[in-house]
Amino acid sequence: MRNPCLRICKRVLFVPIIAAALFASLAYSLAAPPSQPVRPRLAVLVVFDQMRADYLSRWQSLFGDGGIRRLQTEGAWFQNCNYPYAYTVTAPGHASILTGCSPDRHGIIDNDWYEREAGTQVSCVASERYQRVPPAGSNATGRRSAQEGASPERLMAPTIGDVLKETTGGRARVVSLSFKDRSAVLPAGQHPDACYWFSGRGAEAITSTYCRDHVHPWVADFNQAHQADQWFRKEWTRLRPDLDYARYSGPDDVAGEGNGSGQGRVFPHPFGTADTSKPSSSYYGALYNSPFGNEVLLNLVERAIDGEHLGAQDTPDLLCVSFSSNDAIGHCYGPDSQEVLDVTLRSDLIVRDLLNYLDTKVGKGRYVLALTADHGVCPLPEVARAQGKDAGRILPSTWPKQADSFLKETFARKEDKSKWIEAFSPPWIYLNKPALRQQGLKEEEVEKALAGWLVKQPGMQSAYTRTQLQGELPKDDSVGRAVQRSFYPARSGEVAGVMKPYFFLWGTMTGTTHGSPHPYDTHVPLLVYGPGISGGARDEAVTPQAIAAIFADSLGIPKPAKAEAPLPATLQTAH
């Protein structure tokens, strides 16, 4: 039997409770400063491999409302964000962002470098101690090291992920995903829960025994679904056939553009040769060199958010995503190409879809997201020359021999048969120190002579010696100081060169690259979106390494131990 009194009592009690709550909130809003934003439950790093800052303004009118433009207006848009070090390539970029420092501190000076003790070239994340997971199939050919794993052991600085793990007693989840191994391994740090990249052939998501012995169920499902095969026998056409691409970028067919993986210089770009019955390595090469490589990764990212329940705990999690196809396309067709315009427009859709997914799964206002790039890119020399600039590709294959002869002549040791140039891993030249000692020569003098020779080579602007880099450089030598931030004594050589703007070392007659201290390589996007961050453009000079401080501030954790980039002054959160 229902009790009428209880109903009445409820009503009677309910009214004062509402009144008290209203009064309390009114009193709070009158007396207290604006409420503190809720701490995010998830920090998301989005890297587009090779994206220049000028793309965001040049093509802003072409973006939709829900993607990059949402970050430009609702988030902080830093328009003056530059890498502070000289050699702007993928691994140093990915190592810098979440350690908050430069190669002089974290030690990742390049994608690979010469390791003096081993007497060989090493790749930044390659590790013979670990194997790839799952193992390459028995028909795996190609690299001898097809089964080799990857690890962050050469990264000499902790990341935000490492700090998060430490401060939460390991409860925070750290997930990092990319097409490239180095771009997944380096942002994550030493303790990822899930770290995946794609095998060269087959576009299968793989990890390393450094992380775990078998893939997560959501990765097994992803590989089983053959996500990467859906474009077989299709073509890459323009996203916006209604748009005059030539007006926003340049002509489609330009001298100096590459051919990709048999894709040709003009739209539409086919995927692989038509005569194969199933996707071949040529197909996967073409997929990587198209915007759809990013779509494959986005699918894996969504599975990771679900599978790892990212942003669902009380402790915050970290998700790092690096989209690699922009880099392949930019190298092949150059920054002024219709292909780069197209992949940038499609990247806008990737950002939109990722934001929508995070809104749904984690909740609006419950995540902080930073978008940046690991480097920019130089125009094709043919395009730069058409604009009246001095530009060119320089093939340095004969340099070590020439340098060796020059030094022996200079020091009157022509009869010495030993090689004085031990290795050339651009931009670094490594001297054979025992050979010089045997000749009774001072390293410093040989370095100086070598730098004098190097700076006279085609396309060179300047050269620095180890002795110079270990000392004080003039305050106004901004390039030299940038080289110092790329210099890690145990891994760098004795002399490093800097090319003139619009020149680069390159082995083929087509395509372009990055890796210089010039603005087209250092100037990258930085967009930061999350609770407590007010929207709009900023002209404050910052570096991408500021993301480490931004995430630390937002999550309420200490900055990584070697971080040096401060929290941007225009980004004061209310924690």
Beta strand 205-208 with 76-78 is unpaired
Q: In the complex with Zn ion, which residue's Cβ is closer, 268 or 507?
A: 507
Site for Zn ion in 244-273 (CB under 5 A): none
The residue (of 47 and 163) whose beta carbon lies closer to Zn ion is 47
User: What's 328's DSSP letter?
Assistant: H
Kindly report the backbone phi and psi dihedral angles of residue 549, in degrees, each rounded to the nearest multiple of 5, phi listed first: -70, -35
Task: Give residues 431-490 in contact with Zn ion (rule: CB under 5 A).
Answer: none
HSE-up of 86 (CA within 13 Å, CB side)?
A: 27
Q: Give residue number: closest CB to Zn ion.
A: 90
CA–CA dist 393, 513 (Å, integer): 10
Only one of the segments 95-103, 370-378, 481-489, 519-527 lies at the binding site for Zn ion (rule: CB under 5 A); that segment is: 370-378
**Nearer of residues 52 and 265 to Zn ion, judged by Cβ:** 52
Contact between 181 and Zn ion by CB under 5 A: the answer reads no
Shortest Cβ 154–Zn ion spacing (Å)? 17
N- to C-terminal Cα separation, the chain: 52
CA 190 to chain centre: 17
CA distance 431 to 403: 10
Q: Say how far apart CA 204 and CA 207 lie, in whole Å.
A: 10
Which range, of 16-24, 43-51, 208-216, 448-456, touches Zn ion by CB under 5 A? 43-51
- Which among 63-71, 84-92, 285-293, 396-404 is the span making contact with Zn ion, rule CB under 5 A? 84-92
Looking at the Cβ atoms of 90 and 176, the one nearer to Zn ion is 90
Instruction: Write out the E strands in 216-358.
Output: 235-236, 269-270, 317-323
Angle between helix axes 292-307 and 281-288 (nearest 10 degrees) is 80
542 three-class SS: strand
- Residue 139: which residues within 8 A CB-CB, separation 6 or more? none
Residue 317 binding Zn ion, by CB under 5 A = no
Give how many residues touch Zn ion by CB under 5 A: 4
From residue 427, alpha-carbon distances to 240, 331, 448, 516 in Å are 40, 19, 16, 10
Using the rule CB under 5 A, give the single segment among 286-294, 312-320, 321-329, 463-471 that binds Zn ion. 321-329
Shortest distance (Å) from residue 104 CB to Zn ion: 20
- Min dist. Cβ of residue 95 to Zn ion (A): 12
Nearest distance from residue 159's CB to Zn ion, in Å? 18
State the nearest-atom distance from the C-beta of 90 to Zn ion, in Å. Answer: 3
> Counting contacts by CB under 5 A, is residue 327 touching Zn ion?
yes
CB of 412 to Zn ion, least distance (A): 44
Whether 559 and 413 have beta carbons less than 8 Å apart is answered as no
User: What SS3 state is found at 483?
Assistant: helix
Specify the stretch interacting with Zn ion by CB under 5 A; choose among 73-81, 124-132, 371-379, 444-452: 371-379
CB of 93 to Zn ion, least distance (A): 6
CB of residue 320 vs Zn ion: minimum separation in angstroms? 14
- Give residue 231's identity as a one-letter amino acid code: W
Q: Edge-to-edge, what's the strand order for the sheet holding 428-431?
A: 421-425, 428-431, 495-499, 460-465
Stretch 46-65: interaction string toward Zn ion, x if CB under 5 A: ---x----------------
Work out how close the CB of 311 gets to Zn ion at its nearest, in angstroms, rounded to a whole number. Answer: 27
Q: What share of the chain is helix, strand, coil (3-state, %, to 5)?
A: 35, 15, 45
Q: Which of 90, 127, 159, 543 binds Zn ion (CB under 5 A)?
A: 90
Q: Where does this chain touch Zn ion (CB under 5 A) — which range of 60-68, 187-195, 263-271, 367-375?
A: 367-375
- State how far the Cα of 130 lies from the Cα of 210, in Å rounded to an integer: 6
Pick the piece of the chain touching Zn ion (CB under 5 A) from 44-52, 76-84, 265-273, 559-567.
44-52
Adjacent-strand bridge partners of 320: 45, 176
Give the residue with the Cβ less far from Zn ion, 300 or 524: 524
CA–CA dist 56, 527 (Å, integer)? 10
Smallest distance from the beta carbon of 330 to Zn ion, in angstroms? 9
Instruction: Tell me the residue type at 53.
Output: A
Name the pairing type of β-strands 205-208 and 194-198.
Answer: antiparallel
| 162 near Zn ion, rule: CB under 5 A | no
Which among 22-30, 41-49, 163-171, 561-569 is the span making contact with Zn ion, rule CB under 5 A? 41-49
Neighbours of 345 (CB within 10 A): 23
374 binds Zn ion (CB under 5 A): yes
Residue in the block written with tokens 């894996």: 300
**Cβ distance to Zn ion smaller for residue 49 or 308:** 49
What is the nearest approach in angstroms of Zn ion to the Cβ of residue 184? Answer: 13
**Residue span binding Zn ion (CB under 5 A) among the ranges 28-36, 85-93, 117-125, 388-396:** 85-93
What whole-number distance in Å separates Cα of residue 185 and Cα of residue 165?
16
Q: Which is nearer to Zn ion, 333 or 367 (CB)?
A: 333
In the complex, the residues that contact Zn ion under the rule CB under 5 A are: 49, 90, 327, 374
